[in-house]
Amino acid sequence: MCGIVGYIGEKQTVPILMEGLEKLEYRGYDSAGVAIYSQEDLVVKKFKGRLSVLADYLEENPLPGVLGIGHTRWATHGEPNDINAHPHTSYHGKIAVVHNGIVENYMKLKNWLKGKGIEFKSETDTEVIAQLIEYYYEGNLVEALQKAIQKMEGAYAIGVICKDQPDTLIGYRKDNPLVVGIGKGENFIASDIPALLKHTRDVYFLEDGEMAVLTRDHITILNDLGEEMNRDPFHVTWDIESAEKGGYQHFMLKEINEQPKAVRDTLFPRVDKENRIKLDELRLTGEELNQFNKIIIIACGTAMHAGLVGKYAIEKFARIPVEVEIASEFRYKDPFVDKKTLLIAVSQSGETADTLAALREAKGKGAHVLTVTNVVGSRISREAHDVFYTWAGPEIAVASTKAYITQIIALNLIGLYLAELKGTMTRAEVADKVAELKNLPDKIQAILDHQENIQAIANKQFNQQSVFFIGRGIDDYTSKEGSLKLKEISYIHSEAIAAGELKHGTIALLEKGTLVIALATQDQLYDKMLSNMKEVKARGAFVVAITKEKSREEVEESADVVLSIPDTDNVFTPVLAVVPLQLFAYYTAVARGADIDKPKNLAKSVTVE
């Protein structure tokens, strides 16, 4: 959940660390700090608050040095304050550590170390790591770290420097991401690639249990047995500008407007001119795919909402039962999984701790695992049997938008691919669906071209205390994502209700002026939704409806405001209908003065359970 960066080389370290931390601040931002080897000592500066607090201090108080580690924090152990901020040092100040993740047995280790006479300053599990390494340190930092990690339980990535070894920077990974950047006369570690792009495009992805020992001229990767590993570097092809705002006020707005391109990038490499689907990522034969008798989709948050939409599509196309499970609940219910189960794990970052744990649970029971993710080299992608990369590009804003839409595209493609293999749809029927998928980028753009209409509604409704989203069928799933987006970034209480359930409790909460956003995109459910809109209007609600262009006039009779989306296949409407909901959440949050890209208490990559 936190961001780590480290540098060893010939340049001044602080500017490099601060540039890297700025790229990682989406991972956490309640405190930040650096530890620099400066004038033969480890100097630590860390402060509660945004990275700018640390930046202002270091600008006024320069800290020279060519070795250092930095951290931006999302608190897990101990409240956000200067003391609990990273880096943490050991009792004699020999060791400095930055850490992303959780040491689950930290209290047991802390009490054991206290029994050895070691005093602690913070409430964090991270300080335990620094203290434990120094406890075992006898002049060899690698050996000390190897002994320390044998005692530690949990999922974590760490960066370590030592006062006695100013020519060494060490990174270690256990379940949480850590990337090693390869330079010339300098080397780097970081939690994510964007922190390194200004300096290098060649990286190593550490595997679980691997340690990277960096000097300015060399990188050694050791496995958990201490054996040196040979590894081919990965060359990053991202345009560095893709991680910048590109003139938009916020990353979220930029990423909403990038959705036509993201859909094209996900879709077009996998379909040909004859609208045939080519999923080269799937190594399974058609015969093997036909042996699955059910599919389970596991995910969290926004990805779970994409999973619900995917369930609808796969069941409709391939006529195979699909269950959608919240990953954090899946592993505790003794799930019925066997060799005839296809498990689809959906995660933007590919590092979501709960999804990873659920994946392992299902894999251990014999399921074949396919993951849908956006991040090449992520942990989930490595542990799955097959990987479907969405190619959405870097998504910086904490609230996911383009990753969500591309996950839906991926799941639709998988559903159509299975349908043709299983014979539930003909080749021509699949081709017709693919042809319409190809039209979606232009239809998304048509919505984006008139976003000022959505902004006008947000500017009138931003003072709402509660907002309700309603829909039926697949619209219910889209409404869940719209509700989540609004609460994530505007902090307005919002709730998504299946429209048929209104009379079973929720309608009691409606009063004059309450905002209800009603989705009515399903042809077979228009009449039902029109009745639901009239029901809430009769209780004084203000109704904003989202419907297809062809139904606009009919829906206008039952709503106060109608936003139309281009006509499309009923199954594909979530790709279009979510766009005005994303924009409404964005412009509402702007009107309320909220921090759009870094909403309070949230982080982009949830790497703790």
pLDDT tens, position by position, 520-542: 999 999 889 998 889 898 888 99
Q: Is 2 tagged catalytic?
A: yes
pLDDT at 243: 58
Structure tokens at 79: 């409240």
- Which one from 2, 94, 162, 598 is the annotated catalytic residue? 2
pLDDT at 321: 95
Per-residue model confidence as pLDDT tens digits over 85-96? 999 999 999 999
Residue range(s) in the chain whose domain bears CATH number 3.60.20.10: 3-240
pLDDT at 413: 97
CA 25/CA 605 separation, integer angstroms: 11
SS (H, E, C) 387-447: EEECCCCCCCCCCCCHHHHHHHHHHHHHHHHHHHHHCCCCHHHHHHHHHHHHHHHHHHHHH
Query: Count of CB atoms within 10 A of residue 137's CB?
Result: 21
Q: Which of 106-120, 241-255, 457-471, 484-498 has the lowest mean pLDDT?
A: 241-255
pLDDT at 372: 96
Per-residue model confidence as pLDDT tens digits over 159-185? 999 999 999 999 999 978 899 999 999
- Residue with the larger pLDDT of the pair 241 and 237: 237
Q: Which residues contact 344 (CB under 8 A, 6 or more apart)?
A: 295, 296, 297, 298, 307, 310, 369, 370, 371, 372, 411, 414
The candidate with the shortest Cα–Cα distance to 170, out of 185, 188, 186, 149, is: 188
pLDDT at 52: 92
Q: Which CATH superfamily is domain 3-240 in?
A: Aminohydrolase, N-terminal nucleophile (Ntn) domain (3.60.20.10)
Q: Are strands 341-347 and 234-235 parallel, antiparallel or unpaired?
A: unpaired
pLDDT at 608: 54
Q: 54: part of which helix (H) or strand (E)? A: helix 51-60
pLDDT at 242: 60
> Once rounded to an integer, what is the mean pLDDT over residues 122-151?
96
pLDDT class of 38 with cuts at 50, 70, 90: very high
pLDDT class of 598 with cuts at 50, 70, 90: confident
- The verdict on domain 451-591 having CATH code 3.40.50.10490 is yes
| Arch. (CATH architecture) of 245-448 | 3-Layer(aba) Sandwich (3.40)
Does 241 score more than 80 pLDDT?
A: no
pLDDT at 239: 66
Structure tokens at 205: 């992805």
> Once rounded to an integer, what is the mean pLDDT over residues 383-400?
90
Does 560 score more than 60 pLDDT?
A: yes
pLDDT at 516: 95
- Residue with the larger pLDDT of the pair 374 and 281: 374
> Once rounded to an integer, what is the mean pLDDT over residues 197-216?
94
Residue range(s) in the chain whose domain bears CATH number 3.40.50.10490: 245-448, 451-591
pLDDT class of 238 with cuts at 50, 70, 90: low
pLDDT at 83: 92
- Residue with the larger pLDDT of the pair 79 and 521: 521
pLDDT at 607: 58
Does 27 score more than 90 pLDDT?
A: no
- Residue with the larger pLDDT of the pair 36 and 290: 36
Structure tokens at 109: 């280790």
Structure tokens at 163: 């006062």
Does 230 score more than 80 pLDDT?
A: yes
- Which one from 311, 402, 485, 604 is the annotated catalytic residue? 604
Does 97 score more than 80 pLDDT?
A: yes
> Once rounded to an integer, what is the mean pLDDT over residues 119-144?
96
pLDDT at 76: 73
Taking all residues of the chain, what is their mean pLDDT, rounded to a whole number?
A: 92
Length of the chain: 609
pLDDT at 609: 59
Residue listed under structure tokens 């370590």: 160
CA 248/CA 253 separation, integer angstroms: 7
Q: Is 604 tagged catalytic?
A: yes
Rounded to 5 degrees, φ, ψ at 234 are -100, 130
Q: Which residues contact 380 (CB under 8 A, 6 or more apart)?
A: 345, 347, 350, 351, 352, 355, 356, 359, 371, 373
Does 576 score more than 60 pLDDT?
A: yes
pLDDT at 75: 73
pLDDT at 287: 78
36 alpha carbon, distance to own chain's centre: 30
pLDDT at 25: 83
